[in-house]
Amino acid sequence: MKTFQDLGLSKPILQALAQEGYETPTPIQTQAIPLVASGRDLLGIAQTGTGKTAAFALPMLHRLAADRKAPLPRTCRALILSPTRELASQIAESFKSYGRNLGMSVAVVFGGVKYGPQERAMSRGVDVLVATPGRLLDHMSQKTIDVSATEIFVLDEADQMLDLGFVKPIRQVVSKLSKNRQNLFFSATMPGEIGKLAAELLKDPAKVEVKPAATTAEKVEQQVLFVEQVRKRALLSELFSDPKFTRTLVFTKTKHGADKVAAYLEAGGVEAAAIHGNKSQSQRERALQAFKDGRVRALVATDIAARGIDVDGVTHVVNFELPYVPEAYVHRIGRTARAGASGVAVSLVADDERKLLKDIQRVTRQTIPSWDRRNDRALGALDAAILAANPGRKAKTPEPVEQPRGHGRPKRDRTHHAEGAPRAKYDPMAGEFGAAKPEGGRPEGQRAPKRGGSYRPKRRRFGQGGGGGGGGGQGRRTAAD
Ligand code: AMP
């Protein structure tokens, strides 16, 4: 598997990526970066969420830095056209982050705001200019920017440009660019008119394509459980009290996290093993074999380690933490529900991961049903019991979450999956789940589901295998239903 270093990026960029916490390139990055860095035109079929911004921004910065020169006043060396102001801002932010050790200047212009600050930002010339087409044309006609010296031109989200009626303005911009430039063209789909525009713009382009994330995600039953970060381990342990979690892949962000989660599960009586880059080949093989044989119910892995795993019959995928890249979510959950089998993916989402969840839902074009398990005392009790059975570990208490009005105190048990229950509405504009779910985890007015359906928490047997059993409530079920 390729690393960012293998892709030939310069040291200041590699350092910026490390600062961003990027460990491995996404598929589109692996494919596109060497091609763009070599100066070729590129046709990229990919949507947001695949890591496509870095796929063009990184090699562009690399090239600009390799041939560093001061841009002339009111010119730009690289021009990126984006359909919306939000995307333009995001792209500009990405260039700033990835180029932070290069001293590149970045400006962004879009409509709906004053011209003055934008003119000033471009007056001395900029290395990278990100713009929406309409406002850029305004600046061009005011001569506050001259694009004729542009060395690299990017058209992002071309199909959305078409939907928004930007094809004509784009042609006007392109007519003013120098002929001697590199072109990068990105679109999620290729309707006829976009194909035509691409053919006009690109010279002998390399083509890279990544599969739309939405298609694979649809087959898997997905659920989100909101929970405090420190309660995740107890919730995970509780999930395993359902015997249906027979062969479960648990994903963590870090290697250290994978070890800790596996050890905690073991402490709570769930046979678990961790698999990641720091393990030796033979340790990995043993863990994998035990997972395949059913001796281990939970295989805890990082994304990288999981790539090499090909196991049939994975019943559940649990995202202990959400991945940064939505595409990785799709890869993860695609580990279950293979070859026509059914599969369930459960994501444990802390409050600070809601933006990642929002990105995932946007990219996969779906609303994942969710249940609120925050402020759940049963989880606290379970955590305490597991810890009591394993005195080396320390209890962690989360800050209480403010309860939505009218829902009263937290109840003891929350059945987080009610079959056939109406699902919480996700408001993509607000980026939040609408109606707060009632404290029982069931939408209001719903009766608790009968046992025997999908999984639901039962009071687990504390301390099994963890030496000496745990506190009270052994083997009892809670009284929610
Ligand atoms: P994009 O498809 O460009 O909108 O990127 C989606 C998200 O993934 C952004 O929040 C990026 O910061 C993040 N991202 C892109 N590439 C990587 C990577 N190689 N590792 C981790 N995160 C990434």
What is the tally of structural domains in the chain? 2
Q: What is the pLDDT of residue 467?
A: 30
Q: What is the pLDDT of residue 362?
A: 86
Last residue of a domain, one of 190, 209, 228: 209
The answer to whether position 464 is within a domain reads no
Q: What is the pLDDT of residue 137?
A: 97
Please indicate, yes or no, whether residues 133 and 37 belong to a single structural domain of this protein.
yes
Q: Is the CB of 26 under 6 A from ligand 1?
A: yes
DSSP per-residue letters across 72-102: PTTBEEEEEE-SSHHHHHHHHHHHHHHTTTT
Mean pLDDT (10-residue bins), the chain, 481 residues: 92 96 90 97 88 96 96 98 90 96 96 95 98 97 97 94 91 95 93 92 95 63 95 96 93 92 94 86 85 92 74 89 88 74 89 94 88 94 89 59 42 32 28 29 32 34 30 28 23
Please indicate, yes or no, whether residues 104 and 170 belong to a single structural domain of this protein.
yes
Q: What is the pLDDT of residue 462?
A: 29
Q: Ligand 1, from 3, 17, 22: best to mutate by most atoms within 8 Å of Cβ?
A: 22
Q: SS3 breakdown of the chain: % helix, strand, coil, rounded to 5? A: 35, 15, 50
Please indicate, yes or no, whether residues 193 and 229 belong to a single structural domain of this protein.
no
Q: Is the CB of 144 under 6 A from ligand 1?
A: no
Last residue of a domain, one of 176, 209, 242: 209
Please indicate, yes or no, whether residues 42 and 77 belong to a single structural domain of this protein.
yes
Please indicate, yes or no, whether residues 288 and 229 belong to a single structural domain of this protein.
yes
Q: What is the pLDDT of residue 280?
A: 79
Please indicate, yes or no, whether residues 199 and 254 belong to a single structural domain of this protein.
no
| 252 Rama class: left (phi>0) / alpha (psi -120 to 50) / beta | beta
CA distance 293 to 219: 25
Q: What is the pLDDT of residue 92?
A: 96
Helix (H, G, I), strand (E, B) or coil at 262: helix
Cα–Cα nearest to 42, from 196, 134, 156, 144: 156
The answer to whether position 475 is within a domain reads no
CATH number of the domain bearing residue 127: 3.40.50.300
- From the alpha carbon of 26, which atom of ligand 1 is closest? 19
Question: What range does the domain containing 74 cover?
Answer: 5-209
Please indicate, yes or no, whether residues 99 and 225 belong to a single structural domain of this protein.
no
Q: What is the pLDDT of residue 63?
A: 97
pTM over 0.85: no
Last residue of a domain, one of 362, 389, 416: 389
The answer to whether position 415 is within a domain reads no
Q: Is the CB of 30 under 6 A from ligand 1?
A: no
Q: Ligand 1, from 50, 53, 98, 254: best to mutate by most atoms within 8 Å of Cβ?
A: 53
- From the alpha carbon of 50, which atom of ligand 1 is closest? 2
Q: What is the pLDDT of residue 453?
A: 30
